[in-house]
């Protein structure tokens, strides 16, 4: 894909409600790269919570609203691998055999996860202005298993010359969020989050970064409950801050 | 069943010793698999081939089963069809009675676990001896296999030593793995000597040649299939593959994914009973082919992928749920991701459907599956089947989790999120109150703080910052 003039930004409902500054950092970063960023006010949620709970009709109805909200043939950048996965991988299946199938496929084909877009489409070369810093990059299962773009986030951190990435024990393992899983299977989810936060804390880094606010919300609030642990940030915020943004 | 599963989950999570044992063992399996596939491209290429072979086999299942029966029969292997577990157990019993066998020696077979064969035979006065070391350990402990390949993975050496002491008080006490193995071997040798009949599973049944492939590391499988007069192989109908030249690909995928071995110590290809002039081998070979709900799974084009499984266990080894719960908490014969897609279909969603919910859908399973079974997608489908209303698929227990309150919540959720105006209104209200609906997050806050809502949402911030609709 060549560098586009304009992109849509799909903020995700989680970022809209809980982490709007993440969305804002990501959009400003894209704008600074000379891209016109369009944020449709008609967007709501990708429909994943209902889809993963088995309520496909409800998921489809909500998804249909997103098909309408992003009509132009330009990339849709998503600062969350799990929502990007929903749009890219599951929309074509969700709408298979319906009148909206073509539109769903077209939208799916335009979806780009944020770090993937920065690295693969823009060939982003950040100038790191920050002090030396050690971080852990939390593995996002959706980025790795569903989209196959996990290396983009790692590369992005790699290009921040003063940032060193440490790998915690069992880095490949899920943090235990899983959307409604965290509420339906609280004990299991908590056990996974406890091990994950312990492994991250053991590295001693002051900062945890990730590309999925679901995972980060899970880990941040587990750390807060434990009363210790690193600061938690979305990778878009980290990059924005270290490259002169404010 | 939901509450029973929750109770087992709570108990398993609290069992520190078991969790440490299993984590240690699975870490080793994960590392071995990684080392066994040093070349990523080769791995992905092999997985493509494995997926193609299994997809082809299942797409032609009825024809291949006919061909298998024809060629096995021509080779002198007697083929028996069993639609239910009861029928399969009866077939085995009939064969044993005909030979007046008082005892059955067994190699590893998960299908025999599915049948509940041991209990069935023991209730009819036939002694059953597990000869795989791990299987022997769980048999002595009166337990079910904990893992489909490593049945006693949850027990450490001390626990095995204590078990042996209790069951074989005449043996000297030892916690040494080699000594324990040697003791087991001595005990089993005597059993092998006197056995009239041996039973094993099958890894692949080759239609083209009527051959049964069986891999193992202890040699007990070979003993079971060659020493007694009668060998009975039991397996599910999905284990058939078309051609012999497909076997090497599947075997290398199986052993490297399972234990990291390039090949197992023993590879048995069973072609026929002893022919005239041959000095050893069983006089009779029987193949019992079990359906037990597989035809129903086969009939669904999407769920059929469940039957592609080659039982390598890699999905168990990599599963963040399995590594914390272990095999018994599932309450099923097949645990782990494979069990969570298979058991709800075999037993019905009403009985085992809750397993489909006990997953974060992280996809670690499908990432390693040697035949690329899309486990999360199938779990998602089963979740939809559980809450679905109306006619549609054939999945057993469909709609059993339909619940008008849940459905109403999702309808309300959709009502809000299908309309941007409503969505902005509701999210604006939530932002002003600063928290999510408390009841909804209760389970969450047992181990975490409640998330804090931002005072201004992104819709507003974006507009204020000049990121417009166009
Ligand atoms: S589902 Fe795949 S990974 Fe799991 S046991 Fe079967 S073949 Fe192996």
A2 has pLDDT over 90: no
Domain B40-292, CATH homologous superfamily name and number: NagB/RpiA/CoA transferase-like (3.40.50.10420)
A6-120 and A126-242: identical CATH topology: yes
| Alpha-carbon gap, residue B287 to B225, rounded angstroms | 12
Region A88-106: mean pLDDT is 97
Region A19-34: mean pLDDT is 97
CB within 8 Å of chain B, chain A residues 199-238: 217-218, 221-222, 224-225
Share of chain B above pLDDT 70, in %: 97
C-beta atoms surrounding A93 within 10 Å: 17
Report residue A105 as tokens: 């496929």
Q: CB contact, 8 Å: A47 with chain B?
A: yes
C-beta atoms surrounding A231 within 10 Å: 12
- With bands split at pLDDT 50, 70 and 90, how would you rate the model's confidence at B436? low
CA dihedral (B33, B38, B44, B46) positive or negative = negative
Specify the pTM.
Answer: 0.96
Region B151-169: mean pLDDT is 93
pLDDT in tens, B189-233: 999 998 999 999 999 999 999 999 999 999 999 999 999 999 999
> Is CATH 1.10.287 what the domain over A6-120 is classified as, yes or no?
no
Closest partner CB to B360 (pick from A40, A51, A176): A176
Region B385-389: mean pLDDT is 90
B434 has pLDDT over 90: no
B440 has pLDDT over 70: no
CATH architecture of the domain A126-242 equals 3-Layer(aba) Sandwich (3.40)
Q: Average per-residue pLDDT in chain A?
A: 95
pLDDT in tens, B247-306: 999 999 999 999 999 999 999 999 999 999 998 899 999 999 999 999 999 999 999 999
Q: What is the DSSP letter of B211?
A: E
* Domain layout of chain B by residue ranges: 1-36+301-402, 40-292, 409-464
| Alpha-carbon gap, residue B303 to A131, rounded angstroms | 52
pLDDT in tens, B108-140: 999 999 999 999 999 999 999 999 999 999 999
Report yes or no: B179 and B167 within 8 Å, Cβ to Cβ. no
B417 has pLDDT over 70: yes
pLDDT value at residue B438? 53
pLDDT in tens, B55-101: 999 999 999 999 999 999 999 999 999 999 999 999 999 999 999 99
Residue A243 phi/psi, 5° resolution?
A: -115, 25
pLDDT value at residue B470? 78
Residue B391 phi/psi, 5° resolution?
A: -80, 165
Beta carbons of B417 and A56 less than 8 Å apart: no
Instruction: Measure the CA angle with vertex A205, ends A202 and A208; round to 5°.
Output: 100
* Domain layout of chain A by residue ranges: 6-120, 126-242
A201 has pLDDT over 90: yes
Report residue B120 as tokens: 């069935």
Region A142-150: mean pLDDT is 94
Fold held by B1-36+301-402: Fumarate Reductase Iron-sulfur Protein; Chain B, domain 2 (1.10.1060)
Q: CB contact, 8 Å: A27 with chain B?
A: yes
pLDDT value at residue A82? 96
| Alpha-carbon gap, residue B368 to B428, rounded angstroms | 43
Report yes or no: B272 and B233 within 8 Å, Cβ to Cβ. no
pLDDT value at residue B427? 87
A90 or B451, which is more confident: A90
Which residue in B has a C-alpha nearest to residue A43's C-alpha? B420
B428 has pLDDT over 90: no
Q: Which helix (H) or strand (E) holds B215?
A: strand B211-216
The DSSP-derived string for chain A is: -PPPSEEEE---HHHHHT-HHHHHHHHHHHHHTT-EEE--TT----SHHHHHTT-HHHHHHHHHHHHHH--SSS-EEES-HHHHHIIIIIHHHHTTTSTTHHHHHHHHHHEEEHHHIIIIIS-------SPPEEEEEPPPHIIIIIS--HHHHHHHHHTSTTEEEE--TTTTS--S-TTTHHHHSHHHHHHHHHHHHHHHHHHT-SEEEES-HHHHHHHHHHHHHHT---EEEEHHHHHHHHTT--
pLDDT value at residue B441? 58
Residues with CB under 6 A from ligand 1: B 309-315, 337-338, 368-371, 373
pLDDT value at residue A180? 87
Residue B380 phi/psi, 5° resolution?
A: -60, -45
pLDDT value at residue A155? 97
């Amino acid at each position: 894909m060549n560098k586009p003039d304009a992109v849509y930004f799909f903020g995700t409902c989680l970022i809209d409600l809980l982490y709007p500054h993440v969305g804002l950092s990501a959009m400003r970063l894209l704008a600074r790269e000379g891209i016109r960023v369009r944020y449709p006010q008609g967007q709501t949620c990708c429909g994943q919570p209902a889809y993963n709970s088995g309520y496909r009709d409800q998921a489809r109805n909500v998804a249909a609203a997103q098909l309408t909200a992003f009509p132009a043939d330009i990339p849709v950048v998503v600062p969350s691998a799990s929502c990007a996965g929903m749009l890219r991988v599951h929309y074509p299946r969700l709408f298979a055999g319906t009148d909206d199938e073509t539109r769903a496929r077209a939208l799916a084909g335009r979806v780009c996860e944020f770090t993937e877009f920065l690295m693969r489409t823009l060939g982003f070369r950040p100038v790191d202005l920050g002090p030396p810093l050690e971080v852990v990059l939390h593995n996002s299962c959706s980025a790795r298993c569903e989209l196959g773009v996990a290396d983009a986030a790692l590369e992005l951190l790699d290009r921040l010359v003063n940032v060193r990435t440490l790998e915690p024990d069992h880095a490949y393992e899920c943090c235990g969020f899983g959307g409604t899983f965290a509420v339906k299977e609280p004990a299991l989810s908590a056990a996974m989050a406890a091990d994950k936060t312990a492994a991250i804390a053991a590295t001693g880094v002051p900062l945890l970064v990730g590309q999925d606010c679901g995972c980060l919300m899970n880990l941040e609030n587990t750390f807060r409950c434990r009363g210790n642990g690193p600061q938690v940030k979305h990778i878009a915020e980290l990059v924005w801050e270290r490259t002169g943004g404010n | 069943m939901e509450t029973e599963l929750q109770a087992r989950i709570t108990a398993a999570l609290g069992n520190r010793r078991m969790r440490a044992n299993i984590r240690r063992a699975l870490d080793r399996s994960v590392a071995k698999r990684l080392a066994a596939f040093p070349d990523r491209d080769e791995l992905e290429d092999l997985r493509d081939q494995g997926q193609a072979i299994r997809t082809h086999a299942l797409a032609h299942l009825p024809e291949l089963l006919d061909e298998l029966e024809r060629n096995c029969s021509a080779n002198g292997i007697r083929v028996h069809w069993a639609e239910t577990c009861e029928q399969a157990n009866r077939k085995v019993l009939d064969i044993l009675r005909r030979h007046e066998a008082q005892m059955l020696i067994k190699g590893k077979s998960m299908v025999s676990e599915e049948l509940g064969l041991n209990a069935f035979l023991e209730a009819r006065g036939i002694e059953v001896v597990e000869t795989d070391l791990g299987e022997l350990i769980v048999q002595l402990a009166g337990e079910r296999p904990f893992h489909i390949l490593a049945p006693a993975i949850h027990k450490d050496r001390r626990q095995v030593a204590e078990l042996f002491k209790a069951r074989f008080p005449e043996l000297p006490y030892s916690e040494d793995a080699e000594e324990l193995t040697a003791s087991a071997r001595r005990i089993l040798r005597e059993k092998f000597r006197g056995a009239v009949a041996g039973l094993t599973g099958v890894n692949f049944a080759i239609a083209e040649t009527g051959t049964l492939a069986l891999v193992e590391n202890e040699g007990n499988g070979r003993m079971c299939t060659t020493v007694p007069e009668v060998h009975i192989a039991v397996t599910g109908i999905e284990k058939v593959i078309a051609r012999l030249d497909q076997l090497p690909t599947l075997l290398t995928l199986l052993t490297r994914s399972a234990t990291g071995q390039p090949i197992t110590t023993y590879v048995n290809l069973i072609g026929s009973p002893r022919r005239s002039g041959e000095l050893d081998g069983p006089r009779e070979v029987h193949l019992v082919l079990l359906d037990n709900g597989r035809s129903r799974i086969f009939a669904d084009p999407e769920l059929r992928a469940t039957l592609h499984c080659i039982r390598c266990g890699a999905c168990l080894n990599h599963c963040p749920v399995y590594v914390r719960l272990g095999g018994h908490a599932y309450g099923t014969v097949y645990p782990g991701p494979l069990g969570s897609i298979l058991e709800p279909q075999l037993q019905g969603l009403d009985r085992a459907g809750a397993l489909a919910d006990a997953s974060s859908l992280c996809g670690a399973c499908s990432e390693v599956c040697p035949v690329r079974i899309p486990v999360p997608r199938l779990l998602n489908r089963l979740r939809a089947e559980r809450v679905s209303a109306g006619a549609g698929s054939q999945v057993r227990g469909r709609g059993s989790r339909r619940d008008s309150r849940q459905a109403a919540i999702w309808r309300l959720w959709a009502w809000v999120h299908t309309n941007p105006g409503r969505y902005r209104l509701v999210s604006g209200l939530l932002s002003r109150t600063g928290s999510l609906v408390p009841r909804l997050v209760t389970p969450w806050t047992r181990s975490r703080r409640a998330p804090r809502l931002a005072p201004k949402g992104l819709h507003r911030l974006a507009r204020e910052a000049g990121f417009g609709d166009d």
